A and B are shown apart, each in its own frame.
Chain A
Amino acid sequence: MSSPFIPFQSIAATRRLLRSKEISPVELIEGLGERIRTIDPKIGAYIEHDLETAKKEALNSDLSKPLGGIPIGIKDAITVKGQPCQSASRILDGFTAPYDATAVARLRTSGAVPFGRMNMDEFAMGSSTENSAFHPTRNPWALDRIPGGSSGGSAAAVASGTALATLGSDTGGSIRQPAALCGCVGLKPTYGRVSRYGLIAFASSLDQIGPLTSTVEDSGILLNALAGKDSHDSTSLELPDEDFTAEIGRDLKGLRIGVPREYFVDGMEPGVRSSVDTAVKQLVSLGAEPVEISLPHTEYAVAVYYIIATAEASANLARFDGVRYGRRSSKAKDLLSLYEKTRAEGFGREVKRRIILGTYVLSSGYYDAYYLRAQKVRTLIRRDFDQAFTKVDAIVSPTSPETAFRLGEKTDDPLKMYLADIFTIATNLAGICGLSLPCGFSNRDGVDLPVGLQLLGRPFGESRLLRIGHAYEQSTEWHQRRPVAFT
């Protein structure tokens, strides 16, 4: 019997099938489970998936709700009650989440079924998903290449049709960059839009949960479920209720699109440059007005980010000490060696490297030179965007200066890996929202690989961003392309 499940369907389309009873929520989960069993061993997007629990939950789906019966993959940094959650780290071996993250609870309130732990770089530290303690994830478009990171599992699942949509988290580009490299849509909401309660913290002033989807409209549908003030996260904000899909379908006439000269520099992969240039022309042909702008402090973003993010991480990761949860070294002789050995055994290399750097920049005598200075330069970066948004409605750029690289290509050179995040990092430092969506392909080493277009918006300007993204998406056919091996 053939499964009624059709891969690569949008949430919007699947919802129609569920409501018209052409497919039941349980059949949908079963079909997805079958698809994961056949496809995912080649990709490794999932750490694991609990089919039986998801089927039980799907049985009680309320199809009248906005996400009734829709399964959503959850990045392993976000807790789902009763399921293991490890941020892809050995230090959380044995940990079962005692509560739902607020983002997950809100998905449930909207009728969705959390299904699957998506692979990621350990503690979201990385741009390739090679730093997972479980296994690397492969890019569905070229299996010898990385899917991006840190939400690489979340992106690769959507791109290979093993998930309708997933949650990721974005600290310096961890939703947008893998979305770009895998050819799907990724939205980083404005800081404060979505509660971080239940998100295992990496850098608290930068982290934000957001959706990865196959269409721009689906991102809006998911943000409708996710957004809102939460008493468990004092940085989540009380804002007027908003339907993030409300502007979708409106044209772009009268909208001004900023083209930052610092984001169109030499050294970019030629196919990325040409795809993005063509996309800007397409936006103009849809009625948008291009405006050249400057974000003069762009060149400092990577430096500022790696000071602030590692400083916050070194403090956040102090909680993993082998006492209250996760693993404990069996070699400990006393309390000090319990901490030191547990952390030595539990953390991977990139995490150790960042903890040490964060400890250095916060240590006595260096705080002013590094951390405080970085916070001041962060102010300058934020002001660049404030100024730009007095002139434009959105900013357009490539999401990443290059397409997917090969596994192992950058693992020996952390600085090189960090510099590839240049276009996404400033967004988090400024706290604004950002969207990545497919805008073409670039031929790299003889392989056609997806290119991402990044749209950046004012704080709390997600609706406008989704309107622009949707208009572009619907006027091109990039979002309908699928990796041949998985169609």
Chain B
Amino acid sequence: MPTNEQLKTPHHVLDVPYLARLARLEITAEEAELFGPQLGRILDHVEQMNKLDISGIEPTAHAITVFDVIREDAVTESLPKETILANAPHNANGLFVVPKVLD
């Protein structure tokens, strides 16, 4: 049985088909209809962040801060080309093959 939470119409409305296009993801009409309210409710929950005063707070991108990690500029061995291409769905002449891009 759906819970009260599930029945609540979310305050947030997302344009799911548009976002799916941005993400290069084909979705069905049924998926769009399902995801819209589900993601809307998640964003409703996320809204509580707005209660906090975050002025002057620095953002955290990584919890354990490391700066400018550089290794010695030495040539090391890479995987052989054949090994990499072996995983490709379609390859020929040592290259990845995709549908024609330019006419």
Contacts and interface: CB of A to CB of B under 8 A. Distances in A.
Main SS of the interface on chain B?
Answer: loop
B48 interface: yes
Interface in A326-352: 326-328, 332-341, 343-344, 347, 349, 352
Given A321-B24, A335-B98, A416-B5, A352 B62 contact: no
B77 to A, nearest CB: 11
A268 interface: no
Interface in B45-74: 45-50, 52, 54, 57-64, 66, 69, 71
A205 interface: yes
Given A338-B98, A382-B60, A323 B88 contact: yes
Q: Kindly state the interface size class of chain A when it binds its partner.
A: 35 or more
Nearest to B91: A324
Contacts of A231: 71
Contacts, number: 178
Interface stretch (A25-33, A103-111, A373-381): A373-381
B87 A415 contact: no
A237 interface: yes
Nearest to B38: A414
Contact of A380 (B47, B57, B90): B57
B64 A377 contact: no
Contacts of A241: none
B23 A359 contact: yes
A450 interface: no
A209 B47 CA distance: 31
Interface in A291-321: 297, 299-300, 302-304, 306-307, 314, 318, 321
A314 B23 CA distance: 8
Interface string B84-100: 10111110000010111
Interface string A350-385: 001101110110010000001011111111101000
B26 A95 contact: no
Interface string B13-28: 0101001111111110
Q: Is the interface of A mostly helix, strand, loop or mixed?
A: helix
B39 to A, nearest CB: 5
Contact of A353 (B35, B63, B79): B35
Contacts of A360: 14, 19, 39
B5 A377 contact: no
Nearest to B57: A376
B19 A356 contact: yes
A360 B38 CA distance: 14
30 contacts: A94-B89, A95-B87, A98-B87, A190-B64, A234-B69, A235-B64, A235-B69, A297-B52, A299-B48, A303-B49, A314-B23, A323-B88, A323-B89, A324-B96, A328-B90, A332-B99, A333-B99, A340-B21, A340-B24, A344-B25, A352-B27, A359-B22, A363-B19, A373-B54, A376-B54, A379-B57, A380-B52, A415-B5, A418-B42, A429-B63
